[in-house]
């Protein structure tokens, strides 16, 4: 029975195509599916089934094995070649294992023996549709991840970060190994993600591995996988993280923490592009791009014998140095604004600005924890904020207070106040440093410093050039 192509009762439902030359059975199956809320369309020939399957927006095809002179296998083969995303179920009154296997080999997701139990049939249909929904959702997630981890999402306008972005743009299209170096919290993993999602491997997996978080005794099994029975408790085999990254990118974070014994084995993978699971005899070829990151100086580690030279030079085809936040003066306020927007939305607040003192703190602080520290500080401030403007009072006394200059002041034990912090630095260094030097140390303008000194009735302009009569 060929149904009306427009049926508004089922316009928002998933569409299922039934192909069966048994008119009565086809009608019965259609009615059963419609009772479950699906939109079912029945055709009686293989030719019309293929035509409808290619032209229509169907979510599932259910076809009989025997369709007059044609076969359901041929239908599956024809549709699969053009619609690989379309799940298909084979119905047959012949419990032939061969036909079922062939149907699965050609792309069917399941087969059903007639006469079938209605509940079992509906279960098979629902499972096939659920798997299709999951595939679509995963594809959408991958698409969104590309946007999230695009190099465009690395925030900053400083010269240092522009160099990083330029390197990402140039190296991403290649398969060259990349070593990303920088202090903790600078965003090395974000750089690795950007390289992956800007590359031709973007549709493959991105597998991050924290080499410092895996116990040494488990490292080999985690990376290379293991065969069944390789050790006590290994009741089944595993692929390992390297093979899990097949067709994509493996990101080895904290590569300096990789034991020397594992560095030797990693070197073989880097050279031969082959993996042998622990306790296994088979060797597997891998198509993986390797990215690595370290917050330690690997050349110093090599000099101490803590890191192998051959591994370093194999990974360091391209070297990207992510600058610390203290060297990215332009970026602090940009990043802060970005994080304020994110955490304001998350907390349901409408924070539109920062106080002058808060802004001065952001630009004057040394940021030893880099972008991660800034992010955490902004999140805390937003959570504690009780107005639309972030103030210093939104930070706790746990917030650090050290100047950008290496000439660090003694810590302030009272609750954090930017004004108190500035005054403390002025009083601490006014006898030994000029006004311009102190202003630079604090990261504020000379005029702003002068105004404060007048208000506090501290010494006037102590610029040493003035003191010398210049």
Average pLDDT over residues 146-152: 52
Looking at the domain 327-467, which fold is it?
Helicase, Ruva Protein; domain 3 (1.10.8)
Average pLDDT over residues 394-417: 43
- Residue 328: C-alpha distances to residues 148, 230, 379, 429 (Å): 22, 50, 20, 25
Do 364 and 442 meet the contact criterion of CB atoms below 8 Å apart?
A: yes
Looking at the domain 152-323, which fold is it?
Rossmann fold (3.40.50)
Predicted local confidence at residue 465, as pLDDT = 41
Predicted local confidence at residue 391, as pLDDT = 77
The neighbouring-strand residues paired with 60 are 16
Average pLDDT over residues 389-398: 64
Location of structure tokens 């079912």: 40
Q: What is the CATH number of domain 8-140?
A: 3.40.50.2300
Q: What is the pLDDT of residues 100-127, one digit of tens each?
A: 677 777 778 888 888 888 888 888 898 8
Do 158 and 328 meet the contact criterion of CB atoms below 8 Å apart?
A: yes
**Token pair of 63 as six digits:** 């076809």
Q: CA nearest 34: which of 53, 7, 54? A: 7
pLDDT tops 50 at residue 152:
yes
Q: CA nearest 253: which of 213, 292, 206, 222? A: 292
pLDDT tops 60 at residue 161:
yes
Predicted local confidence at residue 264, as pLDDT = 93
* 8-140 and 327-467 share one fold: no
Q: What is the pLDDT of residues 193-229, one digit of tens each?
A: 999 989 999 889 999 999 988 888 888 888 998 887 7
- Buried residues in 13-42 as b, exposed as e (16+ CB within 10 A): bbbbbbbbbbeebbbebbeebbeeebbbbb
The percent of residues in the chain predicted with pLDDT above 90, rounded, is: 30
The long-range contacts involving 125-134, CB below 8 angstroms and separated by at least 24 positions, are 125/16, 125/33, 125/36, 125/38, 125/60, 125/62, 125/89, 128/60, 128/87, 128/89, 129/14, 129/59, 129/60, 129/87, 131/87, 132/59, 132/60, 132/85, 132/87
Average pLDDT over residues 161-167: 94
Predicted local confidence at residue 112, as pLDDT = 84
pLDDT tops 50 at residue 470:
no
Angstrom distance (rounded) from CA 107 to CA 89: 9
Sequence spans of domains, the chain: 8-140, 152-323, 327-467
Q: What is the pLDDT of residues 447-467, one digit of tens each?
A: 777 878 877 777 654 444 444
Predicted local confidence at residue 145, as pLDDT = 54
pLDDT tops 70 at residue 9:
no
Predicted local confidence at residue 268, as pLDDT = 92
Predicted local confidence at residue 348, as pLDDT = 87
Quote the pTM value. Answer: 0.57
**Token pair of 71 as six digits:** 């076969």
Query: Across all residues in the chain, what is the average pLDDT?
Result: 80
Angstrom distance (rounded) from CA 275 to CA 283: 6
pLDDT tops 80 at residue 280:
yes
Average pLDDT over residues 280-290: 89
pLDDT tops 70 at residue 381:
yes
Q: What is the pLDDT of residues 173-187, one digit of tens each?
A: 999 999 999 999 999
Q: CA nearest 257: which of 289, 212, 292? A: 212
């Amino acid at each position: 029975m060929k149904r009306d192509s427009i049926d508004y009762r089922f316009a928002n439902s998933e569409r299922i195509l039934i192909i069966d030359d048994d008119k009565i059975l086809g009608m019965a199956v259609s009615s059963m599916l419609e009772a479950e809320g699906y939109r079912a369309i029945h055709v009686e020939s293989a030719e019309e089934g293929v035509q409808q399957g290619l032209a229509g927006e169907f979510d599932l095809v259910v076809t009989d094995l025997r369709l007059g002179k044609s076969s359901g296998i041929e239908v599956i083969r024809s549709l699969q070649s053009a619609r690989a995303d379309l799940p298909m179920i084979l119905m047959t009154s012949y419990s032939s294992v061969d036909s079922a296997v062939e149907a699965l080999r050609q792309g069917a997701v399941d087969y059903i023996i007639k006469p079938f139990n209605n509940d079992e049939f509906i279960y098979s249909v629902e499972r096939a549709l659920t798997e299709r929904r999951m595939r679509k959702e995963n594809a959408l997630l991958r698409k969104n991840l590309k946007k999230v981890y695009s190099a465009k999402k690395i925030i900053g306008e400083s010269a240092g970060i522009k160099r990083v972005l330029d390197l990402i743009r140039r190296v991403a299209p290649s398969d060259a190994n990349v070593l990303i170096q920088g202090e903790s919290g600078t965003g090395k993993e974000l750089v690795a993600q950007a390289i992956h999602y800007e590359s031709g491997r973007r549709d493959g997996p991105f597998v991050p591995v924290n080499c410092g978080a895996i116990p040494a005794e488990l490292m080999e099994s985690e990376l290379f996988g293991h065969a069944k029975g390789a050790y006590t408790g290994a009741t089944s085999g595993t692929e390992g993280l390297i093979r899990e990254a097949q067709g994509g990118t493996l990101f080895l974070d904290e590569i300096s923490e990789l034991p020397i014994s594992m560095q030797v084995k990693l070197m073989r993978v880097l050279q031969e592009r082959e993996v042998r699971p622990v306790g296994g005899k088979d060797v597997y070829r891998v198509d993986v791009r390797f990215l690595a990151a370290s917050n330690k100086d690997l050349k110093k580690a090599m000099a101490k014998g803590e890191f192998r030279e051959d591994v370093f030079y194999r990974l360091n085809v391209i070297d990207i140095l992510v600058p610390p936040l203290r060297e990215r003066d332009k970026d602090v306020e940009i990043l802060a604004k970005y994080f304020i927007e994110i955490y304001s939305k998350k907390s349901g607040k409408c924070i539109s600005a920062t106080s002058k003192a808060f802004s001065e703190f952001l630009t004057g602080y040394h940021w030893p924890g880099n972008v991660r520290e800034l992010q955490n500080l902004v999140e805390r401030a937003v959570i504690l904020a009780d107005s639309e403007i972030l103030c210093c009072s939104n930070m706790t006394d746990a917030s650090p207070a050290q100047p950008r200059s290496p000439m660090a002041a003694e810590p302030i034990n009272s609750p954090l106040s930017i004004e108190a912090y500035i005054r403390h630095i002025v009083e601490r260094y006014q006898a030994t440093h000029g006004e311009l030097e102190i202003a630079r140390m604090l990261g504020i303008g000379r005029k702003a410093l002068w105004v404060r000194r007048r208000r506090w009735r501290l010494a006037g302009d102590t610029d040493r050039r003035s003191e010398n009569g210049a």
